[in-house]
Structure 1
């Protein structure tokens, strides 16, 4: 039998320090609510990941006092430069959102959270949750435990919190990986454009200049081996894909600081509340990337959950009060998943036409 050491209690324990968890923590802290943030990673990452914020998210971030910091590092109005079979076909605007790396959004929110007197606890992993009538006891990997009135799982698509709560993530996942991604440098390639190369054969590669860095975010159709199996992302593979689809001599990709792969998921949690525990962001819903709605949807979850928890902590915590979050955000999540699934399918078909690119998923 293991024993654990009790650490200080808090009003709300937030698991995960991505944009959703940090936005939630900032919103609670500015309301005078005691909050603690757990993050299993030992340190903040610097990966571009989700790279867009829509106006609705910026409105929330302005209320939290982080909007101006993000605008200072982000970029608006980038031009999408489209190529087809190696030839420049046309340009189009990117839309009303702001281009900014996910790590930069997180950095701005961490700074704001620190101003509010809260710092993220790194290398703190949740391993067990025990709910009672008076609160939640969360056990951490280091043997300590935390008592909180409420728990918010904001720990991503592979959410430990969701698993511990026994909440299924319902929907579908593509069997094959659809894309490889990475942050790479491309000396000699113009940073004035989001370059999008597509081909009649159906593949393509995109290189988007990430503001405040010397890197581009690369997205490309994955390579396959002789037996048709998808190859893992690598710098050598990125270069082969660039040479194949972009056909731009003299550009050598370099300094990969992040490499990953992606497959299409369209899933929503069966519920976003179980007792005193809640799910938000990717922990509650995962969807295709078309439209750049991922971070925005999570931040809107955070705003709604902060309102619910503040109402419960400052007044009667009735079932009606606690259910308000799920009643608002579960239908919204289902709508976003359905919408982005359609957007993604639209983009997949559109890019086979010369001059069309990811902008077809924006509307």
Structure 2
């Protein structure tokens, strides 16, 4: 019997498969498509998602292929009216090494994640969609499009907005379909330098954007041609000749010549969310659980973070932790999905009203609050326990980074200590020595104890500039495998960690 069967091999499914495989879980990932997705569709990574990819060990390659500070160049009725970089004023800080969004095509992200997954011996099975399934108290019995029967302990639907898994579960997908539609495609062109994200609004005629990608010949084309909408808000089928006509109509003075289109699509806005993310041994993640407008670029990011939240929990349950740990997945991620739908819908409204229709020059018009997702957390979660009233982040908050050095003087960051499938127990100050030793002995493999101290303290990590202690204070901090604070406790507490693990039901998975 397979431990986990994943339906859908987009960014969400691939992230989940990596999280499970690197923890030794027997996982299969299948996809109905006959070939890997070729398009750039979700092209933005938030700072928080970059931190996730750092933990998975692929951040360096992602940064190589991404544009970090690409300016937006705005034209209104043919005239240049604004140029600015939305993230130009951001810079890395001790607590956050990634200073803003990254533009990179979705197909490239998927390729990088597939290669990472292959390092753990797992490959995507194409042309093998999920045809049907049933579940019992002991597992899930699935039938693939190939006719193969698969027995698994758990099934996770990462199969998109039209999810076969969600529909078979009878889970409601509540919300609405909007009237807004957009043409999307990947094109090769001549006539523009790949030094900006070009955006044209011609009042009463439409909107066009062309975004280049680093180290790629292709650009992403987005277009809203007002005069081509049908009675019900439909657009003509996309084609290279049609894209050429739109470019000539809305940006005709720039001498742009489209030479090739590798991906063509029409996007219609939907704002919908599943009312449940788990039914027994079947769970939903990514677009299968929530779909929303593209404003703010949060779609792919929210799906990746769904998988990052679910992966360690599902792996621990497969290793003996209580099944109730899976209840925290919906508890934590459903409110985030609800927030994402709200800010994305509002962002789209602002973009359509100010930017596309009226030609406003405010390039950040659609940016949501906390668009980098660094402030999102789980303070109300049953997995968040504040046993210390000290200063610093609370249980459920994202764990800040900080630069340190190890005992040999080699630069190391807190994120280096967090990287991997374990909990991390940070101890600040001499009073934490006992609890750190206890955790290392009693929970070896589950918890990595790390002492953090001033120069000359003999700590595992030396906080040379004081950034770590400034961020956390003098306390004992347990950091979850997904980089959020699980527990804050007084430094001398010898029982807080053990009590926490017993409470949330993960101690049996050690």
> What's the TM-score bracket when you normalise by the shorter of the two chains?
over 0.9
Q: How many residues align?
A: 352
Residue 264 of structure 2 aligns to a residue in which SS?
strand
Deviation at 1:190, TM superposition (A): 1.5
Determine the structure 2 residue equivalent to 1:41. 33
Determine the structure 1 residue equivalent to 2:128. 124
Deviation at 1:315, TM superposition (A): 2.5
Tell me, yes or no, if structure 1 residue 219 matches structure 2 residue 222: yes
Partner of residue 93 from structure 1, selected from 80, 85, 108: 85
Partner of residue 154 from structure 1, selected from 133, 158, 164: 158
Determine the structure 1 residue equivalent to 2:57. 65
Work out the CA distance in 1 between the residues paired with 2:337 and 2:85: 27
Determine the structure 2 residue equivalent to 1:321. 325
* Cα deviation digits, residues 245-276 of structure 1 (max 9, x gap): 11325322121111111111110011110110
Q: Which runs of 5+ in 1 are unaligned?
A: 1-8
Alignment of 1:75-114 (within 5 A): 75-95=67-87, 96-114=100-118
Partner of residue 291 from structure 1, selected from 286, 291, 296: 296
Over 3 Å counting, the alpha-carbon distance change for 1:88 and 1:328 in structure 2 is same
Q: TM-score, normalised by structure 1?
A: 0.93
Work out the CA distance in 2 between the residues paired with 1:128 and 1:150: 14
Tell me, yes or no, if structure 1 residue 195 matches structure 2 residue 198: yes
> What is the alpha-carbon root mean square deviation over aligned residues?
1.6
Tell me, yes or no, if structure 1 residue 242 matches structure 2 residue 247: yes
Tell me, yes or no, if structure 1 residue 342 matches structure 2 residue 340: no
Work out the CA distance in 2 between the residues paired with 1:331 and 1:136: 27
* Cα deviation digits, residues 204-255 of structure 1 (max 9, x gap): 1000002232111000114655975632212222122112211325322121
Residue 256 of structure 2 aligns to a residue in which SS?
coil
Looking at CA atoms only, which structure, 1 or 2, has the larger radius of gyration?
2
Work out the CA distance in 2 between the residues paired with 1:94 and 1:162: 37
Determine the structure 2 residue equivalent to 1:142. 146
Work out the CA distance in 1 between the residues paired with 2:284 and 2:114: 20
Contact 2:3 2:26 in 1 (8 A): yes
Deviation at 1:177, TM superposition (A): 4.8
Determine the structure 1 residue equivalent to 2:362. 356
Work out the CA distance in 2 between the residues paired with 1:353 and 1:181: 20
Residue 253 of structure 2 aligns to a residue in which SS?
coil
Moved more, 221-230 or 241-250: 221-230
* Cα deviation digits, residues 151-177 of structure 1 (max 9, x gap): 111111111111121212110001x45
Contact 2:176 2:272 in 1 (8 A): yes
